[in-house]
Amino acid sequence: MGRLGYAAVGVAERDLALGYEELDKRAHGVPFQLVSTNFVRRGTREPVFKPYVIAEARRGGGKPPVRVGVMSVVRYNPVFLKTGPSGSNISIAQPAEMVRRYVDEVRKNSDVVVLLAEVSNYDAHQLAREVPGIDFVFGAYAGGFSTQEEVEGTTRIVFTGNQGKRIGETRAFLDPERRIASQESFIYFLTGRYPDDAEMLAWVEGALAKIKPAGGAAPRGALAHARRNG
């Protein structure tokens, strides 16, 4: 993700499969921010990760960068429990509750407010209805992806599926007050029609070689998946 230029990445349940300390160790030094608005210390509403980050999108022509406020939520799961930092445990708070807590602060410091969401399409629409002030919900859940523009109030909602099979691109056009005047979204299916980037493919093959069993092959389907996705 760092090599691809990500600025912020939402933490999901699978990222915590081995607990917080293991994720923290593996993510040490990455050039992007891990974000989660609703992973909290159990029994509190204290976020375990940064509840939001403000990223900057550069523009040409000497124009000032666009400030993009990024929050991230996962679906509410009352039985989720993983080890957290300093002997604590991690649970999941209600997404709307936690987004509502921070959205005004993010809005104040941003030109564009983005919510990364591992929730169903129905829940994304409900969250946008309950919590105004979000410009975009970018969702990935259960393989569903958007085939047409979806809007809930003033919030645009786009789903890109999961497993890295598709790339979503949204172009936002700002008015003189630096608010969104219009937007265009595209979904790209990462099939064999897209050529591999030679440098990235070499890096992926090297990474897979490090994790394959001694004398064995790379994990089944992993290299083919990497080549499809370039």
Task: Read off the pLDDT of residues 69-79 as tens digits, 9 standing for 90 and up.
Answer: 999 999 999 99
Share of the chain above pLDDT 70, in %: 93
Q: In the structure, what pLDDT confidence band is assigned to residue 216 with cuts at 50, 70 and 90? A: low
Q: In terms of DSSP bridges, do strands 112-118 and 136-139 run parallel, antiparallel, or are they unpaired?
A: parallel
Mean predicted confidence (pLDDT) in 145-171: 87
The predicted pLDDT at position 106 comes to 98
DSSP run (H or E) holding 183: strand 180-189
The predicted pLDDT at position 228 comes to 42
Q: In the structure, what pLDDT confidence band is assigned to residue 68 with cuts at 50, 70 and 90? A: very high
The predicted pLDDT at position 215 comes to 61
Share of the chain above pLDDT 90, in %: 65
The chain-wide mean pLDDT, for the chain, equals: 90
The predicted pLDDT at position 214 comes to 67
Q: Where in the chain is the domain with CATH 3.60.21.10?
A: 8-189
Neighbours of 200 (CB within 10 A): 14
- Residues 6 or more apart whose Cβ sits within 8 Å of residue 229: 164, 165, 190
Instruction: Give me the phi and psi of 10, to 5 degrees please.
Output: -80, 135
Q: Examine the pLDDT at 89 and tell me if it is beyond 50.
A: yes
The predicted pLDDT at position 111 comes to 95
CATH topology of domain 8-189: Purple Acid Phosphatase; chain A, domain 2 (3.60.21)
Residues belonging to the chain: 230
Rounded-to-10 torsion of CA 75, 139, 106, 59: 160
